[in-house]
């Protein structure tokens, strides 16, 4: 049963199994284990980013394609939900229409970009996506009539998912049984389902071919697989998954703006999560996203403490300032690409 659910990809390392189980339990019972607005928010963010990072890994780790437009697809899903909710009124149909159309548009766009660039060389894709993603980000902030510009959009989601809706009077384990809880579980179970789906995909024959292409595309072509078709298909699937993650994030936040869904910073975050967690394993996305989001939320305070401690010295406080968080991540990123190309998961599996 478990084997089937995980598509035959068991953790294959005791520490990894414990870690994954721990993350699953913490996320599944987050509202009960860590009550408080901020920690539940963090848990939801982790769920969404796991999907986002896993979908990126589908492209990078399995397809060997570097894209810088993943936040664009993420944003398409988020704006899909936002626009549908603004124009169709609050309701589950709006959420559904928004998510599905966002995912479809993302896949279509990925198809077009992929057909243009992947048929020539895989590295074209990286450059073209970088250009297109930034153009889209500019476009979104300029078309303020439709997208709310820099301010973004706030909208209403169905009443059943808001804190005012109570389906059970009183509390269970000190947690109010309201719509917010329902919303968290909507996000959690959707993410779980999407993750298991992606796990299924990468262990299907399709995923095997992708791996073969990543290892040696020339040989894969010679065996008779149309490399371009497989790569484009992986890109489309990955884009659609990213858009769905964006939709979930938009449902959770009840707000979309360029900063939360389209910015280059998120793109860099995704890259870091994939590389640190481990490219080419879906579990790497889980570990990477969890560690990264936790660190982002809680470690920055620690850096400020460190900066205060060395405040008398020259330059050091500036280097340790919490705003310089990206600097250290960048260094970590470079080091991990050199020394741990398989990331945390690869290390754990090897050290078994």
Partner 1 sequence: MSAAPDHNPTMAQTTLVQRLEPHAPVLLVLGLMILGLIAIPSTSSWLTLTVSGLAMGMMIFIMASGLTLVFGLMDVINFGHGAFVSVGAFVGVSLLLGLEHMTGAPSLALNLTAMLVAILGAMVATGLMGWAFEKVIVKPVYGHHLKQILVTMGGLIVVEQLIIVLWGPEEIYITRPEALKGAVTFAGAAIEKYRLVAVGIGAVVFLGMRWVLRSTKIGLIVRAGVENGEMVEALGYRLRLVFVGVFLAGSALAGLGGVLWGLYQEVITAHMGNQSMILIFIVVIIGGLGSVEGCFIGALMVGLLQNYVAFLEPKVALISNIGLMVAILMWRPQGMIPVVKAK
DSSP 8-state code for residue 313 = S
The stretch near partner 1 (CB under 8 A) out of 154-162, 163-171, 232-240, 323-331 is 323-331
311 binds partner 1 (CB under 8 A): no
Kindly state the helix (H) or strand (E) to which residue 176 belongs, with its residue range: strand 175-178
142 binds partner 1 (CB under 8 A): yes
For partner 1, the binding residue among 8, 89, 301, 330 (CB under 8 A) is 330
**187 within 8 A of 28, measured Cβ to Cβ:** no
119 binds partner 1 (CB under 8 A): yes
Length of the chain counted residue by residue:
352
CA distance 232 to 112: 9
CA distance 268 to 316: 24
Phi/psi for 341 (5° steps) reads -60, -20
Closer residue to partner 1 in complex, CB, 33/212: 212
Residue bearing tokens 């991540």: 329
For partner 1, the binding residue among 319, 322, 347, 349 (CB under 8 A) is 319
Q: If we measure between CA atoms, which residue out of 5, 20, 74, 1 comes closest to residue 281?
A: 20
**76 within 8 A of 102, measured Cβ to Cβ:** yes
> Binding residues for partner 1, how many (CB under 8 A)?
41
The stretch near partner 1 (CB under 8 A) out of 4-12, 18-26, 187-195, 334-342 is 334-342
Could you tell me the CA-to-CA distances from 110 to 103, 115, 241 in Å, in that order?
A: 10, 8, 12
Phi/psi for 166 (5° steps) reads -115, 120
CB of 219 to partner 1, least distance (A): 17
CB of 135 to partner 1, least distance (A): 5
**8 within 8 A of 200, measured Cβ to Cβ:** no
The stretch near partner 1 (CB under 8 A) out of 37-45, 167-175, 190-198, 315-323 is 315-323
For partner 1, the binding residue among 21, 88, 120, 146 (CB under 8 A) is 120
128 binds partner 1 (CB under 8 A): yes
Closer residue to partner 1 in complex, CB, 122/348: 122
Closer residue to partner 1 in complex, CB, 120/223: 120
310 binds partner 1 (CB under 8 A): no
133: Cβ contacts below 8 Å, ≥ 6 apart: 68, 69, 71, 72, 262, 264, 267
105 binds partner 1 (CB under 8 A): no
The residues of the shown chain that bind partner 1, judged by CB under 8 A, are 60, 64, 66, 116-117, 119-124, 126-128, 130-132, 134-135, 138-139, 142, 264, 268, 271, 275, 315, 318-319, 323-324, 326-327, 329-331, 333-334, 337-338, 341
């Amino acid at each position: 049963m478990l084997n089937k659910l995980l598509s035959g990809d068991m953790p294959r390392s005791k520490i990894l199994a414990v870690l994954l189980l721990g993350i699953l339990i913490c996320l599944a019972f987050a509202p009960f284990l860590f009550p408080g607005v901020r920690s539940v928010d963090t848990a939801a963010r982790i769920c969404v980013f796991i999907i986002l990072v896993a979908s990126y890994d589908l492209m990078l780790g399995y397809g060997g394609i570097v894209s810088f437009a993943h936040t664009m697809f993420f944003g398409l899903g988020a704006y899909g939900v936002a626009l549908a909710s603004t124009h169709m009124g609050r309701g589950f149909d709006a959420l559904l229409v928004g998510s599905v159309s966002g995912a479809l548009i993302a896949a279509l766009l990925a198809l077009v970009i992929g057909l243009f660039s992947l048929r020539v060389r895989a590295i074209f894709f990286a450059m073209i996506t970088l250009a297109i993603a930034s153009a889209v980000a500019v476009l979104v902030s300029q078309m303020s009539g439709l997208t709310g510009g820099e301010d973004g959009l706030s909208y209403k989601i169905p009443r059943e998912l808001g804190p005012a809706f109570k389906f059970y009077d009183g509390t269970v384990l000190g947690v109010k049984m309201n719509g917010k809880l329902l919303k968290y579980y909507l996000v959690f179970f959707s993410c779980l389902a999407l993750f298991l789906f992606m796990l299924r995909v990468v262990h299907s024959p399709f995923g095997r071919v992708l791996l073969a292409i990543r290892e040696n595309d020339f040989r894969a072509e010679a065996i008779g697989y149309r490399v371009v078709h497989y790569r484009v298909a992986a890109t489309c699937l990955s884009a659609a998954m990213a858009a769905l993650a964006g939709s979930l994030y938009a449902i959770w936040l009840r707000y979309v703006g360029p900063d939360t869904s389209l910015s280059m910073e998120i793109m860099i975050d995704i890259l870091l999560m994939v590389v640190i967690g481990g490219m080419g394993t879906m579990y790497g996305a889980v570990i990477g996203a969890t560690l990264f989001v936790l660190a982002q939320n809680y470690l920055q305070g620690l850096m400020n403490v460190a900066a205060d401690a060395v405040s008398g010295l020259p330059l050091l406080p500036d280097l340790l300032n919490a705003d310089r968080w990206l600097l250290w991540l960048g260094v970590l990123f470079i080091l991990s690409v050199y020394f741990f190309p398989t990331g945390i998961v690869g290390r754990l599996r090897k050290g078994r």
